[in-house]
Structure 1
């Protein structure tokens, strides 16, 4: 996509960027500062400058390539395969079908609210940036710190959980082919490490290469999804081929030791984990043309396709599965493998599962791309230890190569949890969900309750539906986060192997980050850090210009005030 309108330079060779005319909600609204540019910029770059950042990436993503990354992260069939044991085990076929409708509809409110934020603040920092701007006066740094670390946890656990599932799928294929082979935990870990290395080598390439690769990934995911939806009902070896409507729609089962209604809520994990890649265009907005419109469109498209296509997959599973217990607790440790073998027979089932495994690779690739951009954005603002390394953009590829390998190193360390117990490594799935949703909904809540006139809608906005959508999103967060922390069993059945460690790992890590903030970071962390070359305070005399260097936003405002005096 060609660059949009190029700003003309004033007679003096420079001009102030007026964020109020660009439909952006900027950190400058709190400081009274404006950016100064003295070279020609297109509209995308001018919007980014109005938000306080210089252009460091190449904008080689079009809207379809931005969407392809988010759809690859979504990875409908492999994502459902990774978490199929949760919804079927907790609430059966009917719980899976209705759970997808209820949870999927609530997720749309989060996605639409996020799209509105993206249009107003199209920067890689995304939700972290929005929280800093929309928080009440004086609370911006703390709000952005909490959201930043939650999003950091959510994204850095993504490559671990996705590639752990992919490694388990690969070894399940080997087990099906060779019944005498018994995978060991160290086999699983080495396969996992090999996948991380491959994804790192691919992700460190240029934005243009990543765009083409994810278009391929999207095509693969769509083809595999279509094959699954058609193949299972048509080629089922079972008689009758389909389950009774009562089982699919009305017979809510309970595979937990909690009340049936609560078991139904616990099954939402599969839906939440699957419909979760829609925020990728937000974090890729500095690499996308026409970002304040293309980004929101890609977010909404991803969430909507996830809702409808995902439900089609769930319906196929609900109608064709014959023995839920065999699928959930099958001999291969992979519910989707057991399902395919049960419905299609060994050869056809193995072929279908292999296709699903290929699609899962592109999910891991997309997660690695987006995770590296999140780490880059927060490092650019000095929020992560070692920020000066992770915020570097490679001069040849124009991508954050250091961040890529940092994310994958964290994934490799988290992967060691598989040696503790299956429950311990499974907690990574819930941690990712809680971290993401805390980051997703916090800025929506701040906009709903505190922003008032501070929020300036972008060209893509919800209009009068903005507040109702935000209210639904916040209510959904308050409901689902506590649910995700519960184990499936209680009482005498609860032990170290059946415990849900989500609370310990997520909230323990967040507690450490808050202690770090209270002891030290609050003294120097001021939220998004402006890195453009020149600023001017709107109250100073016309033409007064000062360099911003790497000072924080609040520091810049203070300097401007001093100069005015």
Structure 2
């Protein structure tokens, strides 16, 4: 027994300024000392100023699973046909989608670069604070944070509302005498969001498995419905050609009172809303292993595969649809279900719609997960009233359960817009599109302007293409900001029923957030803040702490990004 060495505890020392990260702790000669071995993921999050509180049980695939579920191509395309088909006809499904994807892909690529440099749950607002001029950093990060929160908080309600509408449309399709009331729509949507919230409150490993299942279902159902549209097409029995000719499938049918070019730009709302979920890996970065590589890869993979698969699927719709005008103006109120009924037998319509509803449910749950992580991250920095409650991690599930249910409650309040009419509740779709890309591109704008020469890229970066991608991304969003607020009709025809309520639903809360900052928050909000507490010591204190630990027989490891770990005993 005399040859057995005593077991010694290990402490790890992280020198923040030795890490190639821009952090709330940078340039303050700070060191972090923790009482255990630290892997590279934990070292980076510590260097960024936060404790590792989640289990890193997401991989590249499961992270992609969540983001692809949030994308929810099948239910997203079905829910947004009001904007693609309803503004520009088949052109909104085909070549307009391709043009919009150029700008969207550039936004995704540039965001991926930021996620590698700042792999935190509140990455968009954190990166804004690090890239902005110090005097303006708190205000800019506050605005980006609230813009992104509006996206997250409207995501699940809008998706579940779309799912509820499809369920009720299927009932109406089967029983033409049935007309759903606003109350029925509200209660059904509430039921869907409640089940989503229960699943989102589970442990990380369970959530990862559910979202992998949801992503698989989404892809599989999308493929099945695609095959149904092509193989089950009954247009020939109606005396029509098997498919539309190219001029019909790619042609513009302008349903707005604006010129054709404006109608095409307005139809971008559909693809922007559909593709707004690829930021989810950014918000899951603290639960992902090898986050600085896996997170940006998941973002790019989601945007690329989603854009290509979505385009091919919509091609099938454009070539199979019988009557565009009838699909948009049918009393059923769901263009996708009406489209299916135009070219498929009744049983296939039921099957395809049912698959879309299941995919919508999985999408809503993924939106709840992403939203809860954003709420947790912002509450950790004190951005919300009663933040200390929403920033708690449940001791059993190791997930932000309080944040999930806080978001659920706010979502139910938003869903009261159902009682204000179709145009009012449809505004939450526009908010999801506008708020998302405003928050996505503001840190990108800072990266290519003020921080052009000071930005420290992570291991995944765009290299010399960074400025090009960022410029295209920002130009695209600047163009789309006013377009997303345009109403379909103008002049006397633009009645309250047909008004685009995005201006009120998005800019109203943003104005309140800015006023809150001007009146009160500027006095106490300084941007992201560390929660490391006693783990953080000044450089001068560090040597005394290290020497004290060595004298007790502890093994000391130094973790830096410049050299391998060096052990000092």
Question: Same fold by TM (over 0.5)?
Answer: yes
The CA deviation at 1:545 is: 6.8
CA separation in 2, counterparts of 1:429 and 1:544? 56
Aligned to 1:92: 89
Of the structure 1 ranges 311-320 and 231-240, higher mean CA displacement relative to structure 2 is found in 231-240
Residue number among 145, 156, 173 corresponding to 1:176 in the alignment:
173
Matched, 1:186 2:187: no
1:411 corresponds to: 411
C-alpha root-mean-square deviation of aligned residues, in Å?
A: 1.6
User: Does the Cα contact within 8 Å between 2:45 and 2:120 map onto a contact in 1?
Assistant: yes
SS in 2 for 1:302: helix
- Match of 2:26, SS state, is helix
Q: State the distance in 2 between where 1:125 and 1:32 align.
A: 24
Structure number, greater radius of gyration: 2
TM-score (norm 1): 0.92
Aligned 8 A contact 1:77 1:221 in 2: yes
Q: Residues 461-486 of structure 1, C-alpha deviation per residue, up to 9 Å, x if partnerless? A: 11111111111111111011110001
Tell me how far 1:435 sits from its aligned partner.
1.1
Aligned residue number for residue 208 of structure 1: 205
Counterpart Cα distance in 2 of 1:102 and 1:117: 24
Q: Which residue in the other structure is 2:443 paired with?
A: 443
Q: Equivalent residue for 1:244?
A: 245
Equivalence map 1:338-417=2 (5 Å):
338-417=338-417
Q: Which residue of 2 aligns with 1:528?
A: 528
2:80 equivalent in structure 1: 83
1:5 corresponds in structure 2 to none
Once the two structures are superposed, residues 315-357 of structure 1 have per-residue CA deviations (whole angstroms, 9 ceiling, x without a partner) of 0011000101111122221111101111102221121111111
Contact 1:174 1:181 in 2 (8 A): yes
Map 1:78-477; keep pairs closer than 5 Å: 78-238=75-235, 239-249=240-250, 251-477=251-477
Which segments of 5 or more consecutive residues in structure 1 lack a partner in the other structure? 1-10, 547-565
Aligned mates of 2:11, 2:346 — CA distance in 1: 69
Shift of 1:101: 0.3
Bigger shift: residues 201-210 or 504-513: 504-513
Residues 487 and 36 (structure 1), Cα distance of their counterparts in 2 relative to 1, 3 Å cut? same
- The whole-number CA distance in structure 2 between the counterparts of 1:190 and 1:95 is 32
Determine if contact 1:341/1:350 at 8 Å carries over to the other structure: no
Matches of 1:180 and 1:253 in 2, distance apart?
Answer: 31
Deviations 1:17-57 (A, max 9, x none): 23455432222225453433342111111110000000111
Where structure 2 has 5 or more consecutive residues not aligned to the other structure, the ranges are 1-7, 547-569
Structure-2 separation of matches of 1:69 and 1:396: 22
C-alpha displacement at 1:204, in angstroms? 0.5
1:293-316 CA distance string (max 9 Å, x none): 111111111000111000001100
Alpha-carbon distance in 2 for matches of 1:81, 1:52: 42
Is the CA contact (8 Å cut-off) linking 2:116 and 2:458 kept in structure 1? yes
Instruction: Return closer, same or farther for 1:32/1:499 CA change in 2, 3 Å cut-off.
Output: farther
The superposition leaves residues 417-455 of structure 1 with CA deviations (integer Å, 9 ceiling, x where unpaired) of: 010110000001111111111110000001111113432
SS in 2 for 1:276: helix
Take 1:531 and 1:469, find their aligned partners in 2: how far apart are those partners?
Answer: 34
Partner residue in 2 for 1:555: none
8 Å contact kept, 1:19–1:47 = no
Structure 2 length-normalised TM: 0.91
Question: Matched residues in 2 for 1:34 and 1:81: separation?
Answer: 52
Are residues 1:57 and 2:54 paired? yes
Q: Which residue in the other structure is 2:480 paired with?
A: 480
Return the alpha-carbon distance in structure 2 between the equivalents of residues 123 and 157 of structure 1: 22
* TM-superposition CA deviations, 1:184-217 (whole Å, max 9, x none): 1111011011111111111100000000001110
2:561 corresponding residue in structure 1? none
Q: Please give the alpha-carbon distance, in whole angstroms, between the structure 2 residues aligned to 1:116 and 1:87.
A: 30
Contact 1:19 1:25 in 2 (8 A): no
Residues 545 and 356 of structure 1: CA distance in aligned 2, closer, same or farther (over 3 Å): same
How many angstroms apart in 1 are the aligned matches of 2:544 and 2:49? 18
Is the partner of 1:528 in helix, strand or coil? Answer: coil
Cα distance in 1 for residues equivalent to 2:511 and 2:545: 42
Provide the aligned length of Structure 1 versus Structure 2: 534
Contact 1:54 1:531 (C-alpha < 8 Å) held by counterparts: yes
Deviation, 1:14, is 4.6
- 1:235 CA drift (Å): 1.2
Which residue of the partner structure matches residue 560 of structure 1? Answer: none
In the other structure, the counterpart of 2:20 is 23
Relative distance call for 1:208 and 1:506 in structure 2 (3 A) is same
Q: Is the 8 A contact 1:536 1:544 kept in 2?
A: no
